């Protein structure tokens, strides 16, 4: 190999974070390539898109939109490798259902059918597999989606980690709905559906055995119903994103980059639960970069913002929805936060994920 | 745990092979649970179906049939954990495309769109990931299917094995086509689309460094075009199956069990390449149980059998198609082989897979 530097041990210059590192500088895959930040985007852009020869993949959406037999479908997949398998508020089974249901919901689609594939490590207790499967069944019922096809593979001990789950999902996109990152525009109001940072902190607390006063539970939840309630106000939602890996910072940066709009956040408006804030302070994490698994961020035309916010407040998944910012014509493609002290700071796309294997 | 016997070391009574072992006797997952035989079926029946509360899963088909937006869709998923990643005739990328395309084809559907999710072990060479992705792109183009959505997760070294790939696929089922294991019936002619056993022997040869005279290449190939050519003769194909894990024996047993028909095979009619036969003889394997990745077995009403066979011979994937048996009213649900010496033997459903991680 021409470049034998080990990128796992090389320090990363923070100045490079907003500028994807050329893929050729990574002779091997590092944890950050799975983090949903700049390294993941680079892998898609420089490796998968050229290999598949499919520009649709480069659309940076949570799901693909495809036409089949006259139906307009959303189609999405995610693998789940979260560690540990169970945590306060849920487990890998909940994530596997809600994560894919939510990816479909971010294009306005109502999830209809899921596939579900397990890769199980030899020697895993059968009771663990059953507990994961039962959580999938319960979560699917709650999200009103059916698991209709599946697969199980077993790998030798030392080549897995208990259970990895993949789900793919399909759903119908309603007529007249066109929700895409590219559609965000100056004037849009930015709304988050609830408190941020809970999932990441919940994982970290159980993984590291830390306590932060009150127990923090994952926010894992299906968002299809909330999106339908928002669409009932207006089909003209511009962009939706569930801020999972990379947190709000990644979601907002992706939409800013795709649409070329500037985004201004108000840090004071950001709903951060006290326990999350205290955990982040203790650990040196920024809540903007912590993963959520049951929240969405919406870019809504100003004239519809009040009514959409009211509809969100009326839905169980949106009772704490809040306006957190707006789109501006200034600094196109860049996300800026107004700090509580009145200053501003640039909110960059993260390079990887602060916490590996968060979902 | 009530039962602390280690099923990995307990001898299995061959008399139990056709009678699924109760799930409760397996406190932990063993390699055979991923083998596509009786243990896999048991996991689906006793664990996944009750957990998901969805009888559709119990339908024993390679793909699910779902209705969405007026379209009649086939939907399927498989994870691929084959070891090694590359082998004579193909690699994990080819399997990941062809395997899912073929699962859709077995319900008569033409695959249209694939999702593709990678679980990569930290430290895997980027060139390996690229080679897999490029094989996926090439195989997708050959199968006339588009990869439209994907995902990448990274796990720590020692929790994976290079690259695991999951694909899910959707395709349209043509009007008037109803291909299901349950439809096989006495009088049906059983046709295999080509020589059997190549994939399993190819994997084994490279894994164990064995040579069997001529190099044996995997038969991995997309079967959608072949199935369309068969359907052009008659939409009334009864049942189709691609004999992957568990080989022809598993495929035939599943169809016999689902339909309640008896199946009689002629061992002499079975197209087994010389190199495969010699490898199987050497290793003590039965070619009926060796995995194929580019073959199908068809149950065709007798009145259409000659025309269907002719159409298969005219297609590149079916030039060596052969009639290997028939369905009978005797011994319902059981597969019997007439041996070359004129005797008969029962061909049981395998318990697991002779060769782990074959796909």
Distance, in Å, from the CA atom of A130 to the CA atom of A140, rounded to the nearest integer, reads: 15
User: How close A32 gets to chain B, by Cα (Å)?
Assistant: 8
- Contact: B137, A52; criterion CB under 8 Å: yes
For A69, other C-beta atoms within 10 Å of its C-beta total 17
Q: Which of B150, B165, B244 to mutate to test the interface with A (most CBs of A within 10 A)?
A: B150
- B70 and A CB contact within 8 Å: yes
> Are B311 and B230 in contact, with CB atoms under 8 Å apart?
yes
Non-local (6+) Cβ contacts of B151 within 8 A are A77, A78, A79, B115, B117, B118
Q: What is the per-residue pLDDT for A26?
A: 85
Task: Tell me what the mean pLDDT of segment A317-333 comes to.
Answer: 98
The size of chain A, in residues, is 359
Within 8 A of B136 by CB-CB distance, chain A residues are 51-52
pLDDT above 80 for A212: no
- A148 and B CB contact within 8 Å: yes
pLDDT above 80 for A19: no
Main-chain dihedrals φ then ψ at residue A222, nearest 5 degrees: -85, 135
> Are A221 and A145 in contact, with CB atoms under 8 Å apart?
no
Q: What is the per-residue pLDDT for B271?
A: 97
> Are B27 and A125 in contact, with CB atoms under 8 Å apart?
yes
Mean pLDDT, chain A, whole residue set: 91
Where in the sequence of chain A do the CATH 3.30.1330.10 domains occur?
A: 64-175
Distance, in Å, from the CA atom of A294 to the CA atom of A359, rounded to the nearest integer, reads: 12
Main-chain dihedrals φ then ψ at residue A249, nearest 5 degrees: -60, -45
pLDDT, tens digit, 9 for 90 and up, residues A140-185: 999 999 999 999 999 999 999 999 999 999 999 999 999 999 999 9
- Contact: A160, B158; criterion CB under 8 Å: no
Where in the sequence of chain A do the CATH 3.90.650.10 domains occur?
A: 181-346
Q: What is the per-residue pLDDT for A33?
A: 94
- A154 and B CB contact within 8 Å: yes
Q: Which of B5, B7, B29 to mutate to test the interface with A (most CBs of A within 10 A)?
A: B29
Q: Cα–Cα distances in Å, from A176 out to A60, A179, B196?
A: 21, 10, 50
Distance, in Å, from the CA atom of A17 to the CA atom of A31, rounded to the nearest integer, reads: 16
Q: Which of A3, A8, A37, A115 to mutate to test the interface with B (most CBs of B within 10 A)?
A: A115
Main-chain dihedrals φ then ψ at residue B114, nearest 5 degrees: -120, 145
Q: pLDDT-based confidence at B10, cuts 50/70/90?
A: very low
pLDDT, tens digit, 9 for 90 and up, residues B281-306: 988 899 999 999 999 999 999 999 99
> Are B74 and B65 in contact, with CB atoms under 8 Å apart?
yes
pLDDT, tens digit, 9 for 90 and up, residues A51-109: 998 766 655 577 899 999 999 999 999 999 999 999 999 999 999 999 999 999 999 99
Residues B108-121 as b/e (b if ≥16 CB within 10 A, e otherwise) read: bbbbbbbbbbbbbb
Q: Determine the 3-state secondary structure of B179 from DSSP.
A: coil
Looking at the DSSP bridge assignments, the partners of residue B15 are none
Q: What is the per-residue pLDDT for B56?
A: 65
Q: What is the per-residue pLDDT for A24?
A: 60
- The residue with greater pLDDT, B45 or A265, is A265
Q: What angle do CA B139, A38, A6 make, to 5 degrees?
A: 85
pLDDT above 80 for B25: no
- Contact: B118, A357; criterion CB under 8 Å: no
- What ipTM was reported for this prediction? 0.92
Nearest-by-Cβ selection for B170 from A34, A170, A357: A170
Non-local (6+) Cβ contacts of A342 within 8 A are none
Q: pLDDT-based confidence at A7, cuts 50/70/90?
A: very low
Non-local (6+) Cβ contacts of A9 within 8 A are none
- B2 and A CB contact within 8 Å: no
- Contact: A77, B166; criterion CB under 8 Å: yes
First and final CA of chain A: distance in angstroms?
32
User: How close B45 gets to chain A, by Cα (Å)?
Assistant: 12
Q: Which of A35-44, A121-130, A323-332, A348-357 has the lowest mean pLDDT?
A: A348-357
Distance, in Å, from the CA atom of A119 to the CA atom of B176, rounded to the nearest integer, reads: 36
Distance, in Å, from the CA atom of A85 to the CA atom of A119, rounded to the nearest integer, reads: 13
CATH topology of domain A181-346: Phosphoribosyl-aminoimidazole Synthetase; Chain A, domain 2 (3.90.650)
Q: What is the per-residue pLDDT for B20?
A: 44
CATH topology of domain A64-175: 60s Ribosomal Protein L30; Chain: A; (3.30.1330)
């Amino acid at each position: 190999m021409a470049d034998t530097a080990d990128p796992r041990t090389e320090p990363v210059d923070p100045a490079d974070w907003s500028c994807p590192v050329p893929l050729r500088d990574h002779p091997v895959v590092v944890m950050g390539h799975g983090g949903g930040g700049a390294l993941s985007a680079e892998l898609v852009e420089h490796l998968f898109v050229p290999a598949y020869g499919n520009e649709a993949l480069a659309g940076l959406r949570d799901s693909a939109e495809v036409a089949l037999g006259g139906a307009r479908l959303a189609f999405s997949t995610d693998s789940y490798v979260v560690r540990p398998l169970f945590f306060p508020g849920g487990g890998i089974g909940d994530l596997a259902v809600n994560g894919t249901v939510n990816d479909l919901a971010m294009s306005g689609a109502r999830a209809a059918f899921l596939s579900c594939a397990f890769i199980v490590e030899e020697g895993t207790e059968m009771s663990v597999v059953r507990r994961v499967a039962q959580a999938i069944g319960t979560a699917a019922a709650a999200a009103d989606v059916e698991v209709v096809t599946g697969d199980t593979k077993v790998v030798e001990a030392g080549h897995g980690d208990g259970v990895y789950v993949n789900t793919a999902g399909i759903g119908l996109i309603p007529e007249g709905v066109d929700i895409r990152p590219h559609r965000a525009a100056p004037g849009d109001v930015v709304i988050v559906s609830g408190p941020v940072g809970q999932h990441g902190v919940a994982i970290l607390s159980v993984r590291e055995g830390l306590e932060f006063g009150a127990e923090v539970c994952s926010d894992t939840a299906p968002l299809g119903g909330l999106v339908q309630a928002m669409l009932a106000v207006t089909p003209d939602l511009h962009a939706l994103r569930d801020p999972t890996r990379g947190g709000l910072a990644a979601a907002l940066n992706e939409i800013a980059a795709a649409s070329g709009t500037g985004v201004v956040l108000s840090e004071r408006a950001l709903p951060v639960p006290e326990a999350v804030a205290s955990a982040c302070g203790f650990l040196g994490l920024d809540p903007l970069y912590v993963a959520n698994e049951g929240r969405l961020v919406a870019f809504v035309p100003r004239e519809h913002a009040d009514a959409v916010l009211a509809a969100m407040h009326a839905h169980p998944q949106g009772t704490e929805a809040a306006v957190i910012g707006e789109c501006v014509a200034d600094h196109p493609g860049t996300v800026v936060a107004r700090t509580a002290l009145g200053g501003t700071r640039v909110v960059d796309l993260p390079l990887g994920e602060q916490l590996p294997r968060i979902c």
